[in-house]
Structure 1
Amino acid sequence: MGRKLMSPVLKRSVLIFGLTFLFLFVQLGAGLVLNDPAFTSVVFAKDNDKDKDSDKGKKKGIKHRVDALETQTIDLQTQIDTIELIEGPQGIQGEQGIQGETGPQGEQGLQGLNGTDGEDGKDSIVERVLRDHADHRVLMV
């Protein structure tokens, strides 16, 4: 019976100890990251270099590197903004495309002007026969 009672207590203790241990190392890691000179050198970068090594007089630190990058970025943006678009050479003619679908019927156009009067036509055969027949009757009477 003692074992059944100890099991939940042991599990809780291990859980609490594990979370405490995890919290401790997360805090320690965050402190190391925030105290890294790479993150704080921007604030503490010096303009005057009083050491006597080979980089004397050169700008050091992230602040100066960031300034140099900002200058380059501004220069590149200026170049992009002032590019003149120059047309390239004419390309070769492309292949003929496929025939498109027939479009819809267009609207009725405006009425055109009347044409000039044509010449008088010749009598048709029927009219000539009727006239000859009428003339023949007149002669018969």
Structure 2
Amino acid sequence: MADRPAPSTREDYPTFRTLQTRWRDGDVYGHMNNVVHYELFDTVVNGWMMEHGVLDPKSGETIGLVVESGCRYSGEIVFPDTVTAGLKVTHVGRSSVRYEIGLFRNDAQATSAEGYFVHVCVDAESRRPVALPNDLRTALETLAI
């Protein structure tokens, strides 16, 4: 097996969102189930977009569809931990963007999990790819590394 990269640290992310684990997040192994990590990734990205006025999921002309995702785990998260999620953008294309999210357990300086997903911007009705709107592209620049 190849050497795994070291976990990212808080300094690797330009913005953060605090999330609370829930009782139901745990699994039989005593830690947060892997599917919950993906729920947190989705919450962080879409919450950031809505807060910055670049996503209106009910009446906006465009939406982002996830076309690729992944996660690497390096530590456990359990209830009642507080999770601080770091968010950054590592690629912006014509119609796509790659978000990377780091999940930090409580006050830890290194991630417990790091994930990514790629959004493709599509027309909300036709679901066909379209260019990223200018306001979204401008907002994404604040997250680019």
Task: Name whichever structure is richer in strand by fraction.
Answer: 2
* TM-score interval, smaller chain: under 0.3
Q: Give the alignment's TM-score, normalised by structure 2.
A: 0.17
Task: Name whichever structure is richer in helix by fraction.
Answer: 1
Q: Give the alignment's TM-score, normalised by structure 1.
A: 0.18
Structure ranking higher on relative contact order (CA contacts 8 Å, 6+ apart): 2
